[in-house]
Structure 1
């Protein structure tokens, strides 16, 4: 697994971070304050989660005066989609092999 995939899995492995990322995907650009209201955790905790999401490339930040606005980068999930597709093909092939084996056993 690549370092990028590892960072994405680590970032999204936490349910609060997943919820923040999903909120940004659904609601568009938002401030830390707006995200704190949805996350039901403290503002410092949301900021820490956003830093991890940003480090993984899942969010972008934009400074406007004293406010920081965050937006999701859904395209950053591409390495996970590639991995998921690879695993899907692997297991589909395994199940096809099992089905062939079971047919041969029944004959």
Structure 2
């Protein structure tokens, strides 16, 4: 499983984020179809996809002469849980600050 840092680093690039957005609406997709109109070469797309694969966000599968790309939501769920935990911690801190400020001294 990838660390949150690897996941966020992979999602931090606008091109890779767009690829993930496109994959989120499809079951799987050929690389050429997925990267159409991204403004990058097929080789550039492969490089970006490899970063997503290394972060366990996407997987590649050869089907005949095509390589299909699929989204692996496990890492995205891990990142979401991390953000949710941070959100809970900050909510708690803000509530404590609010209570302190509003309390009678």
- TM-score, structure 1 as length reference: 0.88
The answer (yes or no) to whether the contact 2:2–2:56 under 8 Å persists in 1 is: no
Structure having the higher helix fraction is 1
Structure of greater relative contact order (alpha carbons < 8 Å, 6+ residues apart): 2
Moved over 4 A (4+): none
Aligned pairs, number: 105
- After superposition, the CA RMSD in angstroms is 1.8
Alignment partner of 1:101 is 2:100 = yes
- TM-score, structure 2 as length reference: 0.89
CA separation in 2, counterparts of 1:8 and 1:35? Answer: 20
What is the CA-CA distance between 1:21 and the residue it aligns to?
1.0
- Any stretches of 5+ residues in structure 1 without a counterpart? none
The answer (yes or no) to whether the contact 1:25–1:74 under 8 Å persists in 2 is: no
What is the CA-CA distance between 1:39 and the residue it aligns to?
2.1
